[in-house]
Structure formats: structure tokens, C-alpha cells
Structure 1
Amino acid sequence: MRVLVAGASGVLGRHMSMALADAGHDVIGLTRSPAGAEQLGRMGVEPLVADLMDRDALLHAVDGMQADAAIHAATALRKVPMRHQNMAATDALRVQGTRNLIEAVQSIGARRLIVESMHFGYGYGDFGDRTITETNTPFAPPGRTPALERHLQGFRVKEHLALHTDGVDGISLRFGALYGPGFGAGGTDQIVTMLRKRRLPVVPDRRPGLLPWTHLADAGAATVAALERGTPGQAYHIVDDEPASMNAHVRFLAAAFGTPKPMTVPLSLVRVIGPYLYVFLTSAARLSNDKAKRELGWTPTYPTYRDGIRSLAAS
């Protein structure tokens, strides 16, 4: 298939684009910067420069183009978000950016649309010991605070537009916390650099959150599986088999890469200097990946974060 990938020069978008190309699909990489276009060209991906937030420029850029499918993996994150305002541009991409992309998708004749989502779409908080499936828990409920509602609105609108727009066969992939090769939000290279400089602390273990995790290579493989075998109108959890706290992930990462041990800071300090990071670290959710395994034929190459980190360190 000929596939337009929005956000192709981002950490997640690069992995998706390469997985699609490796599977034999023809990839057009949408990026908003000339530097991103150069990067995509070096990867062998056909670049297209346009800003997803600029409707008119986007529609002009795709005028006359034909494609079979599109992927929405665009975010505005370049580093780990600390405050709620650090998510504002990504929230906007999930709302207005999705609206603009759907217009572009319709103009190029593409029917299938796959959108990136996350476990945080279920809400920020502690879900306890129960396992969340794609149907047993409401997705994107109202947020407890105005700041959390803005983030959840982004997840809510993006998924609703993808799954319920006439003429669009939408599929949502709900990822866990991303890690793997790459420098930027979701990439482990940045985290290791921060650990080497002792700029990434952990919090006391008495109240660690519990995150589902997704290796970027597994995210790319799931994108191909969803494109080829996914059921329109459905959402799939693309997570590994074992949730773990950020503390456990970071400490294992430090040991595997031989960096200094991360220092421990009190949660009260994190709450003051990084309110978004605080809710990230104290949220807890267990997601089932049974549906993706059963319907997409997808299984994680890295069943746990330990498997993925060992592979990263070895390479």
C-alpha cells in the first residue's frame, strides 16, 4: 500500500515508517521541517513538508496525491514533559491536527487511518490490580482537573474522529510508555544521556506508579499488523506482557548501561517542579494485550522492559 505517515520524523514515526517500508509498503513521510525531510530522505522515505496544524497548507501539499492509508503519529514532544503546558501543542495536534489530517486523508482517497493513542487515555490515576481491556473501562473520561481534561480531550477527540468519521476505516493503537532506540520523547537515548549526567532521578518506592511499556520496534510491527489485518472501528492495546514502575525501568536502564545510579528525590518536590511528571509517575494501570495478539497476530518481540533494555545495551 501507499501510506502517508504524519509525524514521520519523530521517534515513533521513524520506527513506524521503517517497519512499513521493510514490509514492502510505499511510505510518504509528512514532516513540518526541512531538517525532518532531510532525515527521512536519508532513511529512503519520500518526504513531504507541511504543518499538520496549518489546514490550508496541508491540503495544498497533498493536492493531486493518491494514497491507500494514513498514519497519525504526530506529537510536539522533544523531551520528557514536566509541566502540563508542555503537553499543550501535542493536545492541539490530537484535536485540530486530527481534523486537518482527516480532510487530507479524504482528499487523497485513503480509507484506512491508524492513529497513535496511549494508556493515559483511560485517565491519570491508580486503577489498582484490575486488568484493563479495550472494552471494560471507559476511554477518555472527563478529567479530574482542567489540565487533565485538556489532555484527555485530545485522546477523546482523536480517537472519536478516527473511529467514527464516515468514509474512514479508522483503527486506534493504544501504546504504553514508549522506549527504544532514538533521541527525543519516547526514545531511550535521551534517557541514558540524562542518567549519565545525573539529571534523571527516581522517587521513593513506597508509592511507585505502574506503567505498561512498549518497545518502539514492537510499536512499528503493530502498525504494520494493524494496517494489514486490523478491523476498522477497533482499538488495540499495543503493550508488553509486564507493567512496571518508572523507578524499576530507570534503575534497570542505569545498571544495563553502566551509568551512575539515579538519585532519589521526594514526590513532594516533583509535584512542585513537574506537575505533569507527578501524575505520570503516580498513575498505575495494567493493560491486556490479548486482543492485539488474537486479532492482529502481533506479539511483542520484547515481552518485558528488561528484555528490551538488554537488547539496547547489547547493541
Structure 2
Amino acid sequence: MKVFITGATGTIGFHVARAFRRAGHEVAGLVRTPAKAKLLEAEEIRPVLGTLQSPAAWADEAAQASVLVHAAVDYTADAAQLDGQVLDVFLRPGAPGAPKRTVLYTSGIWIQGDTGGVPVDESTPIQPHAKVAWRPALERRVLASDAVRGAVLRPATVYGRGGSLTAMWFQGAVEGDVRVFGDGANHQAMVHVEDLADAYVRAAERSVAGEVFLLADGSRARVRDMVDAVVRAAGGKARVTYVPPSQAPEAMRKLAECLAMDQAADASKARRLLGWEPRHTDFAAGAATYLAAWKASL
């Protein structure tokens, strides 16, 4: 398969691109700068210079692919508008008589809202947080398109390698002061980035269409227990402060509210339809390994 990926050097996109290449597929990845392009070339991924803001510059490249993966997000700009522009390209009909392309759209678990720590699945009505209130409409565009085989992937909190949101815990533990939004009694659904990437490859290779997949490792750890494991891995001397989201800086308020949600997810559908089985299922047990990986990625 020929695969085109946005956000190809991002937390999710880079590992998804690598997973497709390791599976033997021809992969091209959208990247902003020549310096980052070298990261892709080292992984046998062909870089395509461009930005989400100017899709016309890479639309022809995307048209050559049989699998299109949107793994980029830019929260500093109008994320809804940028995602819409990407879908304008990705959802275009192919040449007459050509097989339909597969489009994989990256959403996220925050669209489910606070689940009260009770596992939800794809049939559970969504209650998107304000930070991602724009995503349901874009999910519907992908799922309803007759021009492509569209699927939506909703990852849980991603960890592993560079750390993603867990990097805040690592940095605080190393510097001696960890600040956690919420009271720590909440659960945070988790998924290792390598397991997540495997799900994307499986969804593309099985040509799924019209499906939504929640992707979480099934763990039910409290945030407090995961943070304590990180602190121990860093030497056990860091102070941990739990901060109500209402006290977060205004620019971080919505993010803080999302991180304080009590969420759990059931990924049985991905197991059933994709044969997906996460190999990493206990963030706290591997905290020392993940901390070391985060340090090495700096």
C-alpha cells in the first residue's frame, strides 16, 4: 500500500509512519522543515514538505496514496478549520473505476467526556469536552463519506517513547516538583504509542469502513498511583501537588479539565474487528523504563 500521513514527526504520526513502513508499505509523511525531514528519511519514510495551512501544496501527493492518515493537530491555531481543510483533500473521490482509498482520522478519548471511571465503548453516547467540541462533526464527515472507506480512531492518553502528556509528570519528577491537575483519584485511560500505531496498520490492512475504534490498554490505574510510580522512578524526592483545574492558568484551563476527567475505556471492538491486542498494559510498572526513554528523547 501507498500511505500518506500528516503529522509524520508528531507523537502519534511518527510511530504510525514507522509501523506502516515496518509492515512493508511505502510511506510518505507531511513534515514542516528539512531538519525534521531527515528524521523520516532515517526511518525509510519519504518526507513531503508542507503544512496543514496550505493543503494545495501536498494535495497531489496525497492523491497518489491508497491510505490517508490524519495524525496531526494544531491546537495553537483553529484546529477545526485545519482538520476540515485536510478532510477536503482526503475525502475527494478517486479516479473513475479506481478502488476507494482508506482514510483514518485521529480523534481522541476526550470526545467521550468524563465517564466516572466506568469503561465506555463506541456505542456509548459521547459528551465531548469543550476543548474537542469540534471533533464530532469531523468524525461524521469521515464516516459518512461515500468517496472513501473512512474510519475514526480515538486513542486514550498516549505514553511511551517521548512521553506525550506523561512528559509533564517526568519533567516534574526530575525537577522535584510535580503538578497534577485534579485530585489524583481519577482514572486515566492509557495506550502505549507502539500499540496504538499497530492499530492504525491493522485498520488500513483490513480496509475497515464506517467504524469508530476506542484504543486503550484496559488498565484501570488512578492518576495518583501512576504519578507516584514516576516519582519513585526518579528517586522519590519530588513533591507532588494536586491542582484543581479551576486554578490552572487561563491558557491551560481546558487542558487541565480534560486531564482531570475520570475516564475508562473498553477496546473490545478493536480486539474483535482488528485482532488488536495491546502488549503494554501497565504504565506504573514500566515507569522507570518510560522515564529513561523520555530523558533520552530530549
Aligned residues: 290
Contact 2:181 2:257 in 1 (8 A): no
Contact 1:176 1:212 in 2 (8 A): yes
Give the partner amino acid of 1:75: V
Q: Which residue of 1 aligns with 2:32?
A: 32
List aligned pairs for 1:140-151, cutoff 5 A.
148=130, 151=132
Secondary structure, counterpart of 1:258 in structure 2: coil
Alignment RMSD (CA, Å): 2.8
Q: Which residue of 2 aligns with 1:200?
A: 178
Deviation at 1:306? 2.4
Deviation at 1:106? 4.5
Q: Which residue of 2 aligns with 1:229?
A: 206
Q: Which residue of 2 aligns with 1:178?
A: 158
Give the partner amino acid of 2:125: P
Deviation at 1:23? 1.1
Return the TM-score normalized by structure 2. Answer: 0.85
Secondary structure, counterpart of 2:118 in structure 1: strand
List aligned pairs for 1:164-313, cutoff 5 A.
164-182=144-162, 186=164, 188=166, 191-198=169-176, 200-202=178-180, 205=183, 208-229=185-206, 231-258=208-235, 260-267=237-244, 270-273=247-250, 274-313=252-291
- Identify which range, 93-102 or 9-18, moves more after superposition: 93-102
Q: Which residue of 2 aligns with 1:138?
A: 125
Identity of aligned residues (%): 27
Residue 82 of structure 2 is aligned to residue 93 of structure 1: yes
Q: Which runs of 5+ in 2 are unaligned?
A: 294-298
Secondary structure, counterpart of 2:221 in structure 1: coil
Give the partner amino acid of 2:170: V
Contact 2:159 2:191 in 1 (8 A): yes
Q: Which residue of 2 aligns with 1:19?
A: 19
Secondary structure, counterpart of 1:174 in structure 2: strand
- The alpha-carbon distance between structure 1 residues 189 and 279, as it changes in their structure 2 partners (threshold 3 A), is closer
Q: Which residue of 1 aligns with 2:70?
A: 72
- Identify which range, 165-174 or 258-267, moves more after superposition: 258-267
Residue 116 of structure 2 is aligned to residue 128 of structure 1: yes
Deviation at 1:161? 2.0
Contact 1:70 1:114 in 2 (8 A): yes
Distance 1:120 1:199 in 2: 26
- The alpha-carbon distance between structure 1 residues 100 and 191, as it changes in their structure 2 partners (threshold 3 A), is farther
Distance 1:287 1:11 in 2: 21
Return the TM-score normalized by structure 1. Answer: 0.81
Q: Which runs of 5+ in 1 are unaligned?
A: 77-85
Residue 139 of structure 2 is aligned to residue 116 of structure 1: no
